[in-house]
Structure 1
Amino acid sequence: MEITFLGTSSAVPSKYRNHPSIALKAFGEIMLFDCGEGTQRQLANVKISPMKIDKIFITHLHGDHILGLPGLIQSMGFRGRDSQNPLHIYGPVGLEKVKESIFNMGHFTIDFPVIIHEINNSGEEISIIFENDDYIVECIKTHHNVINLSYSIYEKKKPRFLREKAIELGIKPGPDFGKLHNGHSIEIDGKMIKSEEVLGPPRSGSKIVYSGDTIPCEEMIRLAKNATVLIHEATYKNLDFDKALNNFHSTASQSAGIAKEANVDLLILTHISTRYTNIDDLKEEALNIFENTKVAYDFRTLEI
């Protein structure tokens, strides 16, 4: 799994920080989390083709998180994306109206489906919004001044295949190994061999969580529990605590508190206000609470 930060600013971009967007390469796919203005230019800088993006997860409908969608979608159409390559966009209720606005913006041709998945989550329970054999995407409503959805993506990791045990049972290396590893039973010389006989104990896969914009809340802690990586907004320093509270954002130390409470492995701070030209103090505030903290910057890439 590879995380690339395309934009790490808050409401206003700067010379060094673009509007929010994160690209995730995993499971043979490329996904976007938020799509602020200028995202397609940022994708070009890191040599990620928009044509390979199949899913976009939008946290909320503030402009700094969605205004890159019109240009990105139009460019996909211009470059010949066809009906066999739908684009799935997930987000809060109201996203369908955003799509209507995009499709009424100027003159262009789109030959591929843009499929909107509006998520109605109350914040009481975590919702599964996508699942296949490789991973699960979940979300929960957190606390901003508009509806905000925080997301987690969790890798389904198969138990280790016990090769020597399989050979002892008379199974020859080949397709049968794969069938057993995928949970199927096979028959050898009239004897049924179940997959659990040649598989190790369950293993936890990597889990990446992204907050979007939110004040600290219990819902965020629940979603981020035991995450490998928590990407959390840290719009303000402690000295601007009142601004954070009034604008429904988090300080760096509050984000660190969430990471500590949720027992995550790594915290990455993003959505940094342009009022701060030196982020050392912001990072230090978080480090005082949660030791394994990094600050995102545009084009930073992390292997998980």
Structure 2
Amino acid sequence: MFRVIFLGTAGSLPTKDRNTSATMVNREGELMLFDCGEGTQQQMMRAKTGMKALSSIFISHFHADHILGIPGLIQTMSFHGRTEPLKIYGPHRVHEFVRILSALGYYKLRFEIEGIDLEAGDIIKRDGYSIHVIGTEHSVPSLGYALVEDKRTGKFNREKAMELGVPPGPLFSKLHNGEVVELDGRTILPEDVVGDARPGRKIVYSGDTRPCSGILEASRDADLLIHDATLSKDQQEWAIESMHTTAEEAALLAKEAGVKQLILTHISSRYSDDVTPLLEEAKAVFGNVIVAEDMMEIEVPYPDKK
């Protein structure tokens, strides 16, 4: 399973249909939040994501619409008996932010929260994947994130194995797991029957940013790019002043990076009734694009299974 759930897709202010920024990734049952705007815990309840498996929160920057949901979420998890530690990652001084959070409301938490300061270029290694930290360009210190899975074992060539006299069963598994097999005085090597390693999946989350080289390079051949598209191109000057991206600019970046799918998020309230201007200008540049909606879910398949 590799599922992305859009819990909050609004830019700066919530609207009647859009909550503030929060994007959840469910990878093989492990939950990760990228930003956590106000009301995120209620959105999690509506989406039935659960909270127990939440391992980490990745903050892109410290504007209120990206962090105000954290205090309520951690206190709710504590009230429900959580004891597993939670890691909160973000730009410089996130550890101080966590210290303040822990003291809010005179409420003693039942689990440990660790705040971890990050810089562009950092890599967080996890079991089967890594989180790559990207420098972005916003009005305050800001980061983007790329979740990059490890390479997978190559495809097992069943026919070739049988031609070499390997009987179906445990020896197939040994070879596919990289073990050498001795058979009738012959040595069968894994590379005799297993193809080249296959890429895992890669998704990129830009957070709030102007189009920038960091996101462009991190997005090369990504399966999914989730990018700030706060405004349409007729608001270009305001996009530059407020350090956001237009839908057209996000599409141009996605095209140059060769991503497979682009999802536009952080949508300004001026498009509350109609996101068509954003979608049409992006589609004019890059075909496989969607404007995110709250509660939208996207499955990310392996590159060789699309």
Structure 2 length-normalised TM: 0.91
What do you get for the CA RMSD once the two structures are aligned? 1.7
Q: Deviations over 1:199-244 (max 9, x none)?
A: 1122222211110011011111101111111110101111111111
Q: Deviations over 1:74-95 (max 9, x none)?
A: 111111112xx22122211111
Letter in 2 for 1:2: R
Helix, strand or coil for the counterpart of 1:50?
Answer: coil
Q: Does 1:137 align with 2:137?
A: no
- Distance, in Å, in 2 between the alignment partners of 1:116 and 1:179 is 41
Q: Deviations over 1:161-194 (max 9, x none)?
A: 2223334444444444344333344444665543
Say if 1:36 and 1:63, in contact at 8 Å, map to a contact too: yes
Letter in 2 for 1:127: D
Letter in 1 for 2:266: H
| Cross-structure match for 1:88 | 87
- Distance, in Å, in 1 between the alignment partners of 2:214 and 2:37 is 25
1:49-64 equivalent positions in 2, closer than 5 A: 49-64=50-65
> Structure 1 stretch 249-258 or stretch 153-162: which is displaced more?
153-162
Letter in 1 for 2:198: R
Letter in 2 for 1:257: L
Q: What is the deviation of 1:259?
A: 0.4
| Cross-structure match for 1:297 | 293
Letter in 1 for 2:22: S
Q: What is the deviation of 1:127?
A: 3.3
Q: What is the deviation of 1:142?
A: 1.0
Gaps of 5+ in 2: 301-306
Q: What is the deviation of 1:66?
A: 1.1
| Cross-structure match for 1:279 | 275
- Distance, in Å, in 2 between the alignment partners of 1:293 and 1:148 is 24
Q: Deviations over 1:242-279 (max 9, x none)?
A: 11101110011111111011011111100001122211
| Cross-structure match for 1:181 | 176
Q: What is the deviation of 1:27?
A: 2.5
Letter in 2 for 1:282: L
- Distance, in Å, in 1 between the alignment partners of 2:265 and 2:181 is 49
Structure 1 residues 217, 209: CA separation in 2 closer, same or farther (over 3 Å shift)?
same
| Cross-structure match for 1:75 | 76
Q: What is the deviation of 1:298?
A: 0.1
Say if 2:153 and 2:196, in contact at 8 Å, map to a contact too: no
Q: Does 1:148 align with 2:147?
A: no
| Cross-structure match for 1:257 | 252
- Distance, in Å, in 1 between the alignment partners of 2:91 and 2:27 is 24
Letter in 2 for 1:138: H
Say if 2:130 and 2:149, in contact at 8 Å, map to a contact too: yes
Helix, strand or coil for the counterpart of 2:269?
Answer: coil
Helix, strand or coil for the counterpart of 2:225?
Answer: strand
| Cross-structure match for 1:237 | 232
Percent sequence identity over matched residues? 44
- Distance, in Å, in 2 between the alignment partners of 1:194 and 1:127 is 37
Say if 1:139 and 1:223, in contact at 8 Å, map to a contact too: no
Number of residue-to-residue matches in the alignment: 297
| Cross-structure match for 1:217 | 212
Structure 1 length-normalised TM: 0.92
Q: What is the deviation of 1:152?
A: 1.0
Q: What is the deviation of 1:31?
A: 1.4
- Distance, in Å, in 2 between the alignment partners of 1:106 and 1:290 is 47
- Distance, in Å, in 2 between the alignment partners of 1:163 and 1:87 is 43
Gaps of 5+ in 1: none
Letter in 1 for 2:203: I
Letter in 2 for 1:290: F
Letter in 2 for 1:265: K
Letter in 2 for 1:80: G
